[in-house]
């Protein structure tokens, strides 16, 4: 008997050349995780007949559930539907309910004039060996097949259509056909310790954890997330066990622990500011508003975030933030003196409790012998004090910008908590 796990197959040349990012797999995996179905394989294949056929063959050897997106549209490169028809030994037939839905969309929703095109009419053609899954938000229906103990569900590649079918058909079908267990996670965020050293710190504990609990190391931008994942048919026992193991991990990494929630650094700081009912403004040169963007991408930012000044040009540093020209001409924009003035004066300008200011050389150009690419000055301030720190990153422009933002937010976190910076 096949173990209960899923494979996700996404179809389209655009995925393989990087023209389109595969967000469908991420959504499907998240939804399956909620109902206790692990995903073991995720494959992206092009619009090649043999490639798709072989992927179906290979994944059906092991997976009890295969979810497919892409290739169900009305154009010549959409070959998934006829391929599935042949793969499962069926014939194409016209599904009248789907045809009526297509006509309704074109006539009433899209307000298209003239007769329905033949290629649009073909959207209602389905394999006679499939169960049709109505797509309320698009023209291509989902298709359910079963073969040798595996269910196959094909969905459109358009993300909002795929999400609708997943939510309204796929998840209910899986819950009806399979006895699913529970998958639970515990996640924490560390900073100031590398992945390998962290692994050494946790080695003895990790060797003792039960087989059904796994530890994952997720490094990114100078931080490492640790995620404990367990699976069981007994949810209460699993959660108790995970809580116990998670408590042990937190003790072991206490000197580097940022948060024991699965949230990014900016949300950690946002929670601190909201709890204190305090406000923040930023003055950004080298990051060009990226720090402000990190905060404001999350709902509720207006409760603490007041605004930003993107002072990319030195004239803005002088005219808006009061950095004297002689400071800029002597020690320069990338200096302790400049960022301290930026941080102090943005508080006055915005009337906030805290501020962040950054100035640096992001690259690839703009460097000097004294100030190489990656050199950054960061200042954080409240109404009583201003603290500045120099960093030297070694990455490309995009990573330097993000490392600057994350380290700036972490410095602010330490100031709010009055930790050593």
Note down the domain range covering 249.
Answer: 182-259
| Rounded-to-10 torsion of CA 289, 295, 297, 302 | -110
Looking at the fold, whether 249 and 281 belong to one and the same domain comes out as: no
Residues 225 and 240 in one domain: yes
Give the model's pLDDT for residue 2. Answer: 63
For residues 406 and 282, state if they share a domain: yes
Domain check: are 31 and 161 in the same one? Answer: yes
Task: Flag whether 100 is in a domain.
Answer: yes
Cross-strand partners of 69: 10, 155
Give domain status of residue 398, yes or no: yes
| Gap between the Cα atoms of 142 and 81, Å rounded | 10
Q: Are residues 316 and 388 in the same domain?
A: yes
pLDDT of residue 135: 95
Which one of 204, 234, 259 terminates a domain?
Answer: 259
Q: What is the pLDDT of residue 177?
A: 94
Q: Do 86 and 17 reside in the same domain of the chain?
A: yes
Final residue of a structural domain among 238, 259, 280: 259
Helix (H) or strand (E) holding 8: strand 6-11
List CB contacts of 183: < 8 A, sequence separation 6 or more: 33, 36, 37, 38, 229, 230, 231
pLDDT of residue 3: 73
* CATH assignment at residue 269: 3.90.950.20
In a domain, 23, yes or no: yes
Predicted confidence (pLDDT) per residue in 301-348, tens digit: 999 999 999 999 999 999 999 999 999 999 999 999 999 999 999 999
Question: Which whole-number Å values give the CA distances from 415 to 205, 321, 348, 353, in the listed order?
Answer: 32, 22, 18, 12
- Phi, psi (degrees; rounded to nearest 5) at 195: -60, -45
Tell me the CA end-to-end span of the chain in Å, nearest whole number. 56
E-only strand ranges, 203-288: 213-220, 223-232, 257-259, 280-284
Check whether residue 133 and residue 240 sit in a common domain.
Answer: no
Is position 213 within any domain? yes
Q: Are residues 394 and 300 located together in one domain of the fold? A: yes
331 near 338, Cβ under 8 Å? yes
Please tell me whether residues 288 and 413 are part of one structural domain: yes
Per-residue pLDDT tens digits for 336-365: 999 999 999 999 999 999 999 999 999 999
pLDDT (tens digit per residue) in 202-244: 999 999 999 999 999 999 888 999 999 999 999 999 999 999 9
Of 259, 284, 315, the domain-final residue: 259
pTM: 0.80
For residues 215 and 296, state if they share a domain. Answer: no
Total tally of structural domains belonging to the chain: 3
pLDDT digits (tens, 9 = 90+) for 246-284: 999 999 999 999 999 999 999 999 999 999 999 999 999
CATH number at residue 72: 3.40.980.10
> Is residue 1's pLDDT more than 60?
no
**Domain-located, residue 1:** no
Query: To the nearest whole number, what is the mean pLDDT of the chain?
Result: 95
Sign of CA dihedral 217, 223, 228, 229: negative
């Amino acid at each position: 008997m096949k173990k209960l796990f899923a494979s996700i197959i996404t179809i389209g040349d655009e995925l393989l050349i990087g023209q389109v990012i595969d967000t469908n797999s991420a959504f499907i995996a998240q939804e399956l995780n909620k109902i206790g179905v692990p995903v073991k394989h995720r494959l992206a294949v092009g619009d090649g007949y043999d490639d798709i056929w072989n992927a179906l063959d290979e994944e059906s050897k092991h997976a009890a559930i295969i979810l497919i997106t892409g290739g169900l549209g009305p154009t010549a490169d959409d070959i998934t539907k006829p391929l599935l028809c042949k793969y499962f030994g069926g014939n194409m037939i016209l599904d009248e309910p789907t045809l009526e839905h297509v006509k309704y969309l074109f006539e009433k929703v899209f307000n298209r004039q003239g007769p329905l095109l033949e290629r649009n009419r073909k959207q209602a053609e389905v394999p006679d060996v499939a169960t049709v899954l109505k797509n309320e938000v698009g023209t291509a229906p989902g298709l359910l097949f079963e073969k040798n103990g595996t269910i196959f569900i094909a969905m459109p590649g358009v993300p909002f259509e795929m999400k609708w079918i997943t939510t309204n058909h796929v998840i209910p079908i899986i819950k009806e056909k399979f006895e699913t267990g529970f998958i639970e996670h515990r996640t924490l965020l560390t900073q100031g310790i590398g992945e390998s050293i962290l692994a050494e710190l946790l080695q003895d504990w990790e060797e003792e954890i039960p087989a059904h609990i796994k530890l994952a190391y997720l490094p990114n931008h100078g931080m490492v997330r640790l995620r404990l994942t367990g699976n069981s048919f007994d949810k209460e026992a699993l959660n108790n066990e995970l809580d116990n193991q998670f408590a042990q991990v937190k003790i072991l990494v206490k000197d580097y622990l940022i948060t024991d929630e699965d949230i990014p650094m900016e949300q950690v700081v946002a929670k601190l500011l909201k709890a204190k009912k305090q406000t923040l403004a930023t003055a950004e040169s080298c990051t060009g508003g990226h720090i402000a963007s990190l905060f404001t991408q999350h709902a509720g930012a207006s409760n603490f975030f007041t605004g930003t000044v993107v002072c990319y040009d030195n004239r803005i540093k002088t005219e808006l933030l009061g950095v004297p020209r002689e400071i800029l001409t002597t020690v320069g924009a990338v200096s302790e003196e400049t960022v301290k003035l930026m941080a102090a004066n943005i508080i006055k300008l915005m009337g906030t409790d805290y501020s962040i200011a950054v100035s640096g050389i992001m690259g690839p150009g703009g460097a000097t012998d004294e100030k190489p690419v990656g050199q950054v000055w960061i200042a954080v301030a409240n109404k009583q004090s201003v603290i500045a720190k120099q960093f030297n990153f070694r990455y490309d422009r995009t990573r330097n910008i993000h490392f600057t933002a994350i380290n700036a937010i972490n410095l602010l976190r330490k100031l709010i908590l009055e930790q050593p910076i």
